[in-house]
Structure formats: structure tokens, C-alpha cells
Amino acid sequence: MSDSLNASPAIEFRHVSYRVNGSGDAGRELLHDLNLDVQRGETLVLLGRSGSGKTTTLKLINHLLTPSEGEIRVEARPTREWDVIRLRRMIGYVIQEVGLFPHFTVERNIGLVPRIENWPADRIAKRVRELLTLVGLPPEIASRYPRELSGGQRQRVGVARALAADPPILLMDEPFGALDPITRAELQREFLGLQKRLQKTVVFVTHDLREALLLGTRIALMEAGRLVTVQTAEEFPTCAEPLAAAYKNAFGSGA
Amino acid sequence: MNLWQFMLQNHTEVLELTLEHLWLVGISTLLAVLVGIPLGILITRWPVLNKPVLGGANIIQTIPSLALFGFLLPAPWIGARADRLAILALTLYALLPLIRNTYTGIRGVDPAVVEAGRGMGLTDRQLLFQVELPLALGVIIAGVRVATVISVGLATIAAAIGAGGLGEYIFRGLAMVNNQVILAGAIPAAVMALLADVSLGWLEKRLSPH
């Protein structure tokens, strides 16, 4: 990749709107005229409450949803022009419910994308071991089934699975939301360590301001389908934007 | 002479009719599986076909079996041989449980699992064969079980049009007003249905997701 390409944003949103149930003015608009860039190697947090459009924004990146208007570009190419399967295989996807395949062992879960990408078996086995260590799980866990794991362990496997084919981009939709506070704090810390090491481009959805300030390089505040403001994590606490202030108040002085 | 003696004495015929019966049930269930499961998969992919397909299978189910056998009699190739007609009718009746169970089995897979699979870049075929079908298998086998047990009972009517099977004894016994003969047909059929139910039930448990 040339230097100029490296400088361009990994993901770009240009005048993106998303409507459900009907076209034109008939449908319900979940996203309105979104313009946003995600820089390579940053952790962009999409912060907002339910209905703010943050999950919709995330799913537009890996084409699980298609925009009603506007264009999303990944690696400088519009998502419409990408082969959807290729696009998704270079984007790791982690969701709150985890969605591990219950009929596969941990090893087969993590190794699924490498397997369908036809990696040789020994390379897959090696990668699975590497990833288990990376997410802090013991190697013995490889032969266990998801139903035998705790919530924290499952989500670690979920993250390992998303990282298996070493995608440059990671999408995470409230990944730690269903965990107890202690496990959540653990995984947040580990995520920070992981990011420092791997330097992926991460888009992270959350409604938790503390999590956003802890994990984000920049925070994009969303409300009712619109982007309100984008601030760095350092600037956010002192931002004058009324909604940001409301958020801070909701989370108390601890934020 | 009692029933047991009667069956021993006529054991050749009992065996012959039992095998005929198995043949009718076996072929029709197999055909229903080959048509019904793909149809069930189809309507999960094209929900617009849901109503016509399930509706059609439902309507077939409501036609009284004897009447269905009667309707199909004049049909060209099918009506020419009684066993072909019986097999077609039995296949049609077995379709609804198979289509419906395939549909609900696939729909019943945890949506988070399907979303994760799609988001990871699984093609639709990979998602179907590696994730959805294995997880839906228990429910699908339950559909096969229901279809088979119904078929065993329904196949007794096949004798009314001369297609053979254990129904022969039942109809003969009715005509002769001889309970023994009736039971000689009914009991093996009941045992067959029970065995099918138990063995497919065991298979269903083994293949259901953990």
C-alpha cells in the first residue's frame, strides 16, 4: 500500500442515511446524513443511548445493512463495490450476545474463518493456540464447548474468533455489556492491552460513558440517528455540547 | 384358534403384507424428505413463499385420505398402479410435517449465532450447511418421526385401493366380520408405528444441539 493510501481513513461515511419500511419519505429513519471518518489504528467509540443509531452505523460497515442514501467506504472502496464476503472476512465482528456456534468446540469456533479460507490444518491449530494466549485463556479450553464456559470466557472466545484471520478492522457492538462489572473491567483492561499490541482499526459501540472514555481514542456522540459531535477522549469531558454534558451528569462525577 | 396361532399359521402372508407396508411407508417418507426438506429450506430464504408452500401442504393435509386416494385414481401414470398411487398420496401427507419442521427448525436457531456467522463472512451456503442445518437437525428429525408414524397408520388405507400392506387384513377382517383377522393387520401396524416412533425419537435426542 502506498503512503497516500495509508494516510486515508480506513472507513468513511458520506451523507449516509438509513431508513426502514419503505423508501422515499415513507419509512422510519434510523440514521440521517451521517458523515464520519474512522482513522487507521484508532479506536472510535460510537456512544449513545438506545435508538441513537450506533448499532445501525456499525452494521453498515460490514454490509449487514445497506444504506438508503449515501456511501460508506472501506479501505477507500465503496461497500457497494466490495464483494460482501471478502469485505466481511477482513472485518472482525464481536456482538454482545457473542453468538458462538454451540455445536462447535472453542477451537472450531475460533478456527472457522481460517478453515473456510482454506488455511492448512497445522497453521489453524497454531493460530488458535496463539489467540487463546492472546485473550488470556488456557490452552485446555480449546476442546470445550461454549455451554461449558462462563460469560467472560465466551466473550474472550468471541474476540479470539473475530481476530482469527487477522483482520485490519474490528467492529464491536457493546461486547462487554452482558458481563458482570468485575469481568467487564477485566476485559476492558485486556482490550486496551490488545489494542496497544495489535493496533487494529476498531469501531466500538457502547452506551457507557466510562467505557467510552477508557477505551476510545475518539468518541462520536450520537442521538436519534444523528451525529452530535466527535471529540477525542481527552476533550470529551470538557466539551460544551449540551448532550455531552447530559451524559456526564448521568454518569455522575465518577466519569 | 387365538390371534398368535393365526399369525403363526399364516406367517408367510403376514410377513409379505408387513414388508409391503414397510415398502409403502419407506419410499413415501424418503420422497417426502427429498422434497420437503429442500422446500422447508427454500421458504426460510424466500419468506414470500411461506404462505403458498405451507398453505398448500396444509390444504393437502385436510383432504380425507380415502378421498385423496379416490381423486388420484383417474390420473394417467399414477392411477395405473395401486402402489404408485398409494406412495404418491402418502408422500403428500408426509410433506407438511417435514416442510414445517425444517422451517421452524432453521428459524429456531439462535439469531445471534446466525448474525455472528453472517458478519464473519460465511456465504449463505456455508451458513446453511455448517451452522443452520446441524443446529436444526433435531427438529427436522422430529418432523420425520411425525411423518413416519402418520404414514404407518395411513398406509393401512392403501389396501382399500389394492396397494397391499397390512390394511389388507384389516379390510378383509371387516368384510368377514372376523376380529382376529383385523387384529392380525392392526397389531403389526401398531408395533411398526411404535418402533418407528421410539427409534426416531432416540435419533432426534442424539442429534439435538447440546
CA distance to partner chain A, nearest, from residue B46 (Å) = 18
State how far the Cα of B16 lies from the Cα of B14, in Å rounded to an integer. 5
pLDDT bin (cut points 50, 70, 90) of residue B209 is: low
Q: Poorest-confidence range of A71-85, A232-246, B12-26, B38-52?
A: A232-246
Taking CA atoms, what residue in A is nearest to B136? A103
Closest CA to B32 of B86, B78, B83, B94: B94
Contact list, B134 vs chain A (CB under 8 Å): 103
State residue A254's pLDDT score.
44
Asked if residue B59 lies in contact with residue B95, where contact means CB atoms within 8 angstroms, the answer is: no
Taking one residue from A and the other from B, the number of pairs with CB-CB distance under 8 angstroms is 63
Nearest residue, CB atoms, A102 vs list B118, B126, B209 = B209
pLDDT bin (cut points 50, 70, 90) of residue A23 is: low
Beta-carbon contacts of residue A187 (< 8 Å; ≥ 6 apart): A152, A155, A156, A175, A176, A179
Q: What is the ipTM of this complex?
A: 0.90
Strand partners, A16: A34
What is the value of pTM for the model shown? 0.87
State residue B207's pLDDT score.
84
Which secondary-structure segment (H or E) carries B195? Answer: helix B179-207
State how far the Cα of A241 lies from the Cα of B196, in Å rounded to an integer. 70
State residue A8's pLDDT score.
86
Task: Find how far residue A176's CA is from the centre of its chain.
Answer: 11
State how far the Cα of A56 lies from the Cα of A171, in Å rounded to an integer. 12
Nearest residue, CB atoms, A113 vs list B110, B118, B121 = B121
- The whole-chain average pLDDT of chain A stands at 91
pLDDT digits (tens, 9 = 90+) for B8-66: 888 898 899 999 999 999 999 999 999 999 999 999 999 899 999 989 988 988 888 88
